[in-house]
Structure formats: C-alpha cells, structure tokens
Structure 1
Amino acid sequence: MKGSNEKTIKSLPIGISDYVRAQSEYYYVDKTLLIKEFLDRRPLVSLFTRPRRFGKTLNMDMLRVFFEISDEDTSRYFADKAIWNCGEEYRAYQGKYPVIFLTFKDVKFDTWEATIDKIRGLLQEEYGRHQELLDSEKLSQYEKIYFTKILDSSANEVELTSALERLSKMLAAHYGKAPIIIIDEYDTPIQEGYSKDFYDEIIGFMRNFFSGAFKDNKNLSYGFLTGILRIAQESIFSGLNNLSVNTVMDEEYDSFFGFTSDEVKKMLEYYGMSKKESELKDWYDGYLFGSEEIYNPWSVINYISRGGIPQAYWVNTGKNEILEDLLKVATDDITERLYALLHGERIIARIDQNVVYSSLTEEPANIYSLLLVAGYLKAPKKELQADGSYLCEVSIPNREIAAVYKSEILSHFLQVGVITRNTANKIAESLYANDYKKLQNSVAEYMDKSISFYDGGTEGFYHGLMLGLIALMDNQYKIKSNRESGDGRYDICLIPREEKYPGIIMELKWKEKLSEAALVSLAEEALVQIDELRYDSELTEDGIADIIKFGIAFSGKKVCIKTK
C-alpha cells in the first residue's frame, strides 16, 4: 500500500520465520545484535527459553543465514543491519560455517509412530540441504551409505538417534571446519509426548539424539537450541556441562525475543497508528524478560495489521495445554489464587525453572513455574533463593492473557459438565437482550449445574463458582467478592460495565443437612439480608437503578435460589 508521501508501506510479517524474506519483503524489527551478544559471550551451546510465538524461529533462521557457508553472497542480507556497523571483528564470522538447522515447531502428533516419522522427514530435508557431501572425496563409503539411508527414509529409530552427530562429523571433514547446530523448539514433541502418552519414547530418543550432537562432540563449533522449557531434570542434556541456559528471568539477551517499547513505538509511527499506543500497551505489553519490558510480537503484528482491533490473537496460535493441565489438577488453594490473579492481584509463588510437565500431577504448585515460562504470568518482583529457584510476585501480564484464562476456564467448565453450552448461551442471550427474567433463570440454572458438580460447602466450590461467572459474564461485568470468615458467607457483586445492564447482588449461604423447607428459609434469609445490610449501596452510588438480587442457599448437593 502507499502512504500520503507515496512511499511503499511494507506489509507485516505474520507467520514469516524465513529471515531472508522477512527482512527484504516485510517490516523487519532488527534483532541482529543478538549475533554480537553471542560472539561477545561465545558459549559452546546456548539454550534460549521463551514463550511460543516470540520470534525464536525467525532469530534462529537469522543465525543460520549469518553463519552459513553459501554459494551466494549472503552478506547483503546484513549490510544495512545493526550487526554490520559493529565492525570487521563481527563481520569476519559471516558465511564461514557449515550449519545444521532443524525446527521441531510443527512436530505435533498424537502417537510416537507419527512423531518419529515426522522427525525422520525433517532429517531427510536437512540432509538433502547438504547433498554436496555425497560427492565429497573426504568421506568414506560407509558414511555415504548412512547418508543415503537418511535421504531415502530407510534409517531405523536407532540409526536416527545418531543423525546429528554423524552429519556434523561429515560436514567437519568436508569443509575442514566444525559446523554450527541449531535446534529450534526442541521441546514441542516432548510436550506432545506428555499430553498424548508417549513421553518415555520421546525422552529416550531425544536423550541420545542431543547427546551425540552436543555432548563431547569435537565436530561442533557452536550449538543453539530454543524452547519453552529447560528440561534439565529429564537428563536430556545430562552431563552437558557446556550448556548456557538463558530464560525469561535472565538479563542476557533480554531484548532479542519479543518487541521492546521503542520498537513498538517506531512501528506504530511507521503505520500511522501512534494514537493506539495506550490500547496496544494495555493488551499486549506487560512481559518482563530479565529487566526489559517486552510486548508479545505476534499479537502486536496482528493488531496493527487489522487496523487496531484488540483481540486475543496469541491464544489462537495453538492449544493452551498448560492451562488445561492447571484446571485438571487445581486444588482449592490454586483455584483461589487463580481467582485473585483474574482480579488483577499479585500472588507469591516459588518459581523453579527446571520444572517438567510430568511433575504437575505430583506437585500442582509447579503450575506457576510452567505458566511463567510459557507466557501466562509475569514476575514483577523476584528474589533468587539458595537452591536456584526464585521467590516471586507473579501477576497476569495484560488483557490478552486475562482473556485467555477466561476462555480456557469457560471451555474447561463446559467440558467437565459444570456448565452446559445451553446455559452459557442463555446467560449470554439474556444479557444481550436485557431480559432480566431470563437472566434470573439462567443464573439459577448455572448455580444448579455447579452444585451438582462441585462438593458444596467447600472453599473450592465457591471460588470455582465465581471463576465460572467471570468466564461467562466478564465482558459485561466487573465481578467483586467479599468473603467473611466464620459463617461461610460469600457476597458477590456484579458491577455492569455499561448502563444497559442491571447490577447483580448475590448473597450465598450454606449449612449442612438442611431439609427442603429449611433450605428455602435460608435462601429467603439471604435475600432479606441484602436489603437489611444495604449490599446494593455501592451500585446505587454508581447510579445503577436496576439491580437483581439473588439469595442463594446450599446444603450438600442441594441449592435453592430466591430472587427479586
């Protein structure tokens, strides 16, 4: 498209992870100083852990293009980038190494057989990029036979485990220089293995696969890996004492994954959308990598390309298995904390960066560590502990992630049967149509469904109840609760976000082993209490005239609701 000064406005690189295309055909945020920082530090093997869709694959492809020996002059792809201004000492590394590059970001299958087939295909592609080795006089015949096996997909599982080690040896022999090995999204198939029950198979394979590539491999110049988790406890990298791990908690490389505030400001100026900065920040900022404030790059790009329509773009890029697992193992304490997080509060959590998926069922508190590294939480305050873990204040980063929590909570409640789709639709329709009577009936139905699912009379029940309400009604209401200790009473106040909706007050009471008549009496008592103690004063002070009042009584699995 053209701007007012007739200059061509570049498109945004939605889903583009090819560095050459991204920097030539699209608006490219220059991250080439990652190369300088690496060359200044020069660890043998680097692991970068960041949430999905934060630019890991594009950065790894950038490293490949920069370092890889090529028939064409690839320096032209960096001549106008920041790295080129850093001097000859950095430019000297450009185009000087053979490179092995694999990305596992699309290795998402339901079975181990399909997974190993996909890995076999990825290795076939990568060996295919290096077919010059078949004509090399520096390779022995048995090496070429192995190479051909990978090319024609006839290598068995055991032979595949040594594919990186053997390819690195062949490249080093042919070029007289040890290669760089880049593995992108190394833990994607591991996460799939955990959720689809082939965990032992994938862990066993990866242990041998990576060990040959990175442990005591004299045919390795440098190694790079990216992922969401650092899976040290699984001993995938056991004995790999040359591994430098960089996580969201570290200050090194903190500005190279995701967009910084300055980068977002420049992008908005370029597209003539500077007035949208506040909304963009509210929705997609809030991450903290090291000490750098970071925006979600996927969401920023989508938001700008759609002309500034705020949506939860990131949630639609893949399943949120980690949140699903959270809801499956949530204890009363976790449910209560999740409720606090959704209300914008900070909670204290111990963050262990070595957590693994399999530890969730044994220790549900590990969920906070997983949520942090996966991009569902941020840590505004952190304190390193003697055992290497952190004690952190954590909170939800921004409005987009709050929306993700709510949609996952709602889908979970629908899935396990605490809410039916019909009930959810009734509440949505009654709110849309401003039909108070239908709303009363819908909320009563929701309460009834909830009590049949939860153990009534426990804290977890009440918090689960409110999480469901938040998920169902958050677009129309701000939900407040005031729990009073001692008598098991909960007050819930739903404050409308727009004048057209009624205010809602709920007084919840419960007692054990009540008769039907006593249950009705308790519900009526709750309703009277709303008026007597003027629970609606906050709403009336805000000018809300239409108020629905619910007196709700529980006893075991029974519920009685009185409204007015």
Structure 2
Amino acid sequence: MLYFRLFVCYNEPNKKEGGVHMNKDSYHKEDVSKEKKPLPIGISDYIRAQAEYYYVDKTLLIKEFLDQKSLVSLFTRPRRFGKTLNMDMLRVFFEKSTEDTSIYFTDKIIWKCGEKYTKHQGKYPVIFLTFKDVKFDSWEATIDKIRVLLQAEFGRHRELMNSENIAEYEKQYFFKIMNGTATEVELTSALEILSRMLAEHHGKAPIIIIDEYDTPIQEGYSRNFYKKIIGFMRNFFSGAFKDNKNLSYGFLTGILRIAQESIFSGLNNLVVNSVLDNAYSNFFGFTYPEVYEMLEYYNVTDKEKELKEWYDGYIFGSEEIYNPWSVISYIAKGCIPQAYWVNTGKNEILGDVLSIATEDITQKLYALLQGECVIARIDQNVVYKLLSEEPENIYSLLLVTGYLKVLKKELQADGSYLCEVSIPNKEIAAVYKNEILSHLLQIGAIKRTTANKIAESIYTNDLGKMQDAITEYIDKTISFYDAGTEGFYHGLLLGLVSLTDTQYKIKSNRESGDGRYDISLIPRNKKYSGIIIELKSKGGLNEAELEKLSETALKQINSNRYSTEMEKDGIINILKMGIAFSGKKMKIKTQTF
C-alpha cells in the first residue's frame, strides 16, 4: 500500500528505528468506528500522555542515550518541540519508585530492545526540575520561584528526612529547603547536596534532569537582572555537574547553548546536541512516518500536503522534522491552517536584536520572506549579552529558536558554521510578516493600518492614496532626525510593501538592464502590473526641488533599463515609480509602460 512504501522510503536510507504510535498492521485491524484518543495539546506528563492521549513513541531516545552513555547531555531545541515530555519520560523510566513503573514502557519500542536497556528501568534516584515557567519581571520573584521548585523537589524525596545514612547537618539543610528559609547562597548548593544525600541513602548516584535551563536566563536578559541570574546559575549547575562524584547521568534541555556564559565553565564532560547535530535528531518533533500515521489514525490523510506546507521543513541534523505542537493543534482543531506555534510564547530578545538590525540584515530578512535562501554564519555558542552588541548573531538566534532551517552547512576553523538558511514553512513565513517585520519597522496599530493602505494602493494603482499613506506614516511615526539617508527610506518602504507578498514577489537591490534598481514588485498573477521603484533623498528641499528629484529617480529607471528583467519574464504592464524624500516630505512621479 502507499503508506508502507512511503515509510520504507523515509527510514531505510538512515537505518533508523522510528518511534510511532502503533504499527500499520494493528492500525488496519482497528475498528474505524472506535472512538479516537484525544491529542495531547499542552500535556508534558509522560504517564498521562501515553495512557490517555495519542502518544508518539519516543522511547528509543533512552536506547540512544544508553548506547552513547554521555555523563552530561544538553539538548537544545526550539520551544514546544517535546523537550519537557521527553525529560519526564526519562524520569519515569530511570527513577526508583515504590510502584512498578515498567508498566508504562512494556508496550513501547524500548521494551523490545532487550535486557541491555530494560535493566536500567526504575534503578536510579532522580532529581527533576523544570524552569519552563520561571518567567518573572524581577530577580526577587525569580529566586522565590526557584526556591519553591526546590522545595517541591526536595519534598519528593522525604525518605531522606528519616534516613540513617544521612548526617544531621545535611538533614538540617534539607529542613531549610523544605521550610523555605534557605538563603540565596544556600540555594546554589541545593543540587550538589541533594545528589549527595540521595547517593548516601540509596547507595546509587542519582540522575539529574534540568528542563528549560535557560528560561530564567532569557528573562534575566530581558528584565535587567542578567548578572544576578548568571551568577546564581553558574554556582547552581557547577555543584550539580562539575566534578560531582554523586552523579550517574545528567540531562539538560534549553533553547540556547550558552557555553561562553561560563555557566558550565570547566565542565568538559558536557555533550551538546543541537539542531545541527545528527545525534538524537528524530526525538524532538515529529518525523514524516509519525505524522502520516497520525493522519491515518484520524482519517485526514487528504490534508497531508497542506500540513506539510505549513508545519514541515525543520531540519535537525539530517532529519526532516515537523513542528509537533502545530501538527497536533492543526488536527485537533479540524485541520484549519493557522500559526499555532508562534502564539505559544514570546521572544523579547528577538525584538531587542531586530531593533538594531543593520541594513544588510534587513535586506536578508526581506529576502527570506520572499522564500529565498541567504548565507549566514551560525555560531552555536550564542551569548545573550552579546546579541545586541553583535547583530550578526541574529541568524544563530533565529535558527535555534525555530525561525530558520539550515539547508547546507560548512564547518569553519573557529567552530562556527557557514550556512545556507531559509524559512521552514508557511507558519514561520507568517511570523516574519507579523512579528519580525513589526519589530523591524516598529509597527503599531495605526502604522499597520497605514501599511495596509500602501498595499491597497499598489493593487489599485492609486498613487494619490499611496502618497497620502506614506506621508501619514512618516508624519505620525518617524522623528525628523530619524530620516535622512536613502537607505533609511529604502528599508521603510520595503517593509511597507512587503505586505503585498501574496500577490507580488518583492526584490531589492538587484541587477537588471544597466544597473541595480531599488525595489521591484513582480506580480505572481499577470493580471497585476509589475512595479519598479527608484528612491532618492536629499535634505532641505522645497516642493519644486522635491518634484524634480522624483523626476530624476524616474528617469534613472528608464535610462538604466531596469524593466529588462520583467520584460524577459513576459510582464507587459509595468508601473515605474520615482519617489523622492526630503525629511518628512515626499513626492511620487510615475510612468506606465
């Protein structure tokens, strides 16, 4: 059958075992009238997810880890790609418990891998913390939340309070954590001391799992308590993972790899698994076979193409990956394509960097919006505090946060990669229009209305409306001192007309004829006119001088034959626009070809 052939095609080349909900034979024996399990939107509890919801089996993550046996593993992936659920799965699998937790794995793929792996089930004490909800405006609120999380985790290990193997001074520390009276300094030793107490009590060193370790750091950067959170985390993680003899294994997840922050200074046993690495590439997010089987289960295989266009396109290592949050949301909400994932979080850092984006970065972002690929240097050691100081790091940030994918990569001598990057899918393209460009242009509600007027005037060739809209935008949103250079006006106008990209393919600073035009709008449907825009600017001009400058811009379009590219593409109707700026004043001259 068709599905079987596709499954083989996608899995044989890499010789990987794909985690799927059920095999194809069991699926087709199932009564199609049977009530379907709900999809696990927002469910990060492994036991509940695998029992009550449609669960995509990712338990081979356990096998891959036990094969590699890295002492401390850091997994960096975008938000909502299954990190917390996978970490809770690891906790349930490895953690010693008074109940038989093997029942949650006997029907999963890991149990078929044999005693080499199953013998580790339920054998380790586990420390588990997730920082995914540590998002506060101040350092005081942040440390209070961390204190509460540690209190709850220590509370999970109450057996230590009465253990004969634990020294009295350690029990006193335990009570301080439980009572919420430990100082900030004492809190930095919490993981180190708890791991020692667990090892002493159980006779086996624990596993430490830290989920979304960098969430408080990101908030610290955005909320101006960066130095305090970095100082705390450096000592907090050092005690847990650096030279800790009371550690069997450590797992961390996050969005960024922050090696240069010295949080993991000297931790030479840390293995980082990023979106550029092949290891663990198919365990965060959904693979094609997993998605297709889900579509079959819910009887919506006719939506395969649409789902792929909207939510596929991520590349982790060499594996093509679908956004799991969006896939689940899309199917659960009746297969209506929307930007589900982008509405689940915010990224002030992105706004901080975009607000100081250079002209080159701006041009590349607009090229990405048009579905083009750009070349960018990707440094995996992204440092929060250097993002605004080095705007070129924007591409590294966009990649690790899920806004870009790498098509090709070449390792450089300094450890960075020179990459060919593009936007993954339609969902992220929508983000670039509504979020990225909003930051770049600082578009508010009234400015968005103005931008829509620009788009409407282009469709109808209403030049008076266009001039009024651009003038309104300049008058209400731009300081006189912001204006001046031609590059400034170029970026401004390029951002405004970008809203037309469903009808036009927008190009900027490209060669055509005998020179390089400023902006061209190439119609995707020949019923629209092609548009070529040339910009000029000069300060201190009166109305007559401004009109003359716009005429000069129009003449340049003709003398340099900028319409050559469109004419070769068979576009007959071409609108040529010379636009002149002087401070907040502007003038448009046009000619139809």
C-alpha contact 1:323 1:405 (8 A) present in aligned 2: no
**Per-residue Cα deviation, 1:89-122 (whole angstroms, up to 9, x for no partner):** 1111101111000000111111110100110010
* 1:380-459 matched pairs, under 5 angstroms: 380-412=407-439, 415=442, 420-424=447-451, 426-427=453-454, 438=465, 441-443=468-470, 445-446=472-473, 452=480, 454-459=482-487
**Per-residue Cα deviation, 1:7-30 (whole angstroms, up to 9, x for no partner):** 121111111100001111111111
Structure 2 equivalent of residue 57 of structure 1: 84
SS at the partner of 1:420? Answer: helix
**Per-residue Cα deviation, 1:380-434 (whole angstroms, up to 9, x for no partner):** 1111122221111111111211111111234325647797244246457879999
SS at the partner of 1:323? Answer: helix
C-alpha contact 2:59 2:110 (8 A) present in aligned 1: yes
Shift of 1:465: 2.5
Structure 2 equivalent of residue 463 of structure 1: 491
d(CA) in 1 for partners of 2:550, 2:460: 27
Shift of 1:521: 2.8
C-alpha contact 1:413 1:419 (8 A) present in aligned 2: no
Structure 1 equivalent of residue 93 of structure 2: 66
Shift of 1:464: 4.0
d(CA) in 2 for partners of 1:162, 1:537: 66
RMSD (Å) for aligned C-alpha atoms: 3.1
C-alpha contact 1:255 1:294 (8 A) present in aligned 2: yes
**Per-residue Cα deviation, 1:298-340 (whole angstroms, up to 9, x for no partner):** 1111111122211111111111234312312211111121122
**Per-residue Cα deviation, 1:358-398 (whole angstroms, up to 9, x for no partner):** 11233221221122111111111111122221111111111
Structure 1: segments with no counterpart, 5+ residues: none
* 1:216-227 matched pairs, under 5 angstroms: 216-227=243-254
Q: Match for 2:521: what amino acid?
A: C
Shift of 1:475: 4.5
- The answer to which of 515-524 and 311-320 deviates more is 515-524
- The answer to which of 27-36 and 392-401 deviates more is 392-401
d(CA) in 2 for partners of 1:393, 1:272: 37
Taking structure 1 as the reference length, what is the TM-score of the superposition? 0.90
d(CA) in 1 for partners of 2:556, 2:486: 22
Q: Match for 1:235: what amino acid?
A: S
Asked if 1:108 is matched to 2:135, the reply is yes
Asked if 1:493 is matched to 2:496, the reply is no
Structure 1 equivalent of residue 153 of structure 2: 126
Structure 2 equivalent of residue 41 of structure 1: 68
C-alpha contact 1:136 1:174 (8 A) present in aligned 2: yes
Structure 2 equivalent of residue 353 of structure 1: 380
* 1:202-241 matched pairs, under 5 angstroms: 202-241=229-268
C-alpha contact 1:382 1:393 (8 A) present in aligned 2: yes
Cα 1:555–1:91, aligned 2, differ >3 Å: closer, same or farther? Answer: same
d(CA) in 2 for partners of 1:483, 1:210: 50
Structure 1 equivalent of residue 538 of structure 2: 512
Shift of 1:455: 3.8
Shift of 1:507: 2.6
- The answer to which of 420-429 and 242-251 deviates more is 420-429
SS at the partner of 1:253? Answer: coil
Which of 360, 364, 368 is equivalent to 1:341? 368
Q: Match for 1:175: what amino acid?
A: H
Q: Match for 1:252: what amino acid?
A: A
Structure 1 equivalent of residue 33 of structure 2: 6
Which of 319, 323, 326 is equivalent to 1:292? 319
Which of 78, 82, 89 is equivalent to 2:109? 82
C-alpha contact 2:78 2:401 (8 A) present in aligned 1: yes
**Per-residue Cα deviation, 1:53-75 (whole angstroms, up to 9, x for no partner):** 11000000000000011111111
d(CA) in 2 for partners of 1:14, 1:539: 50
**Per-residue Cα deviation, 1:330-360 (whole angstroms, up to 9, x for no partner):** 1111112112222222222221111211112
d(CA) in 1 for partners of 2:38, 2:542: 67
Cα 1:99–1:6, aligned 2, differ >3 Å: closer, same or farther? Answer: same
Q: Match for 2:42: what amino acid?
A: G
**Per-residue Cα deviation, 1:420-464 (whole angstroms, up to 9, x for no partner):** 244246457879999886566435534666695754443354134
Cα 1:352–1:144, aligned 2, differ >3 Å: closer, same or farther? Answer: same
d(CA) in 1 for partners of 2:517, 2:305: 40
d(CA) in 2 for partners of 1:529, 1:348: 30
Q: Match for 1:365: what amino acid?
A: E
SS at the partner of 1:233? Answer: helix
Q: Match for 2:162: what amino acid?
A: D
C-alpha contact 1:44 1:242 (8 A) present in aligned 2: yes
- The answer to which of 316-325 and 154-163 deviates more is 316-325
Cα 1:373–1:409, aligned 2, differ >3 Å: closer, same or farther? Answer: closer
Which of 9, 13, 18 is equivalent to 2:45? 18
C-alpha contact 1:285 1:296 (8 A) present in aligned 2: yes
d(CA) in 1 for partners of 2:566, 2:31: 51
Q: Percent identity?
A: 68
Shift of 1:250: 0.9
**Per-residue Cα deviation, 1:259-312 (whole angstroms, up to 9, x for no partner):** 111111111111111121111111111111111111111111111112221111
C-alpha contact 1:102 1:126 (8 A) present in aligned 2: yes
d(CA) in 1 for partners of 2:538, 2:467: 25
Q: Match for 1:248: what amino acid?
A: V
SS at the partner of 1:508? Answer: strand
Which of 171, 175, 178 is equivalent to 1:151? 178
Structure 2: segments with no counterpart, 5+ residues: 1-29
d(CA) in 1 for partners of 2:482, 2:532: 19
Taking structure 2 as the reference length, what is the TM-score of the superposition? 0.86
* 1:92-107 matched pairs, under 5 angstroms: 92-107=119-134
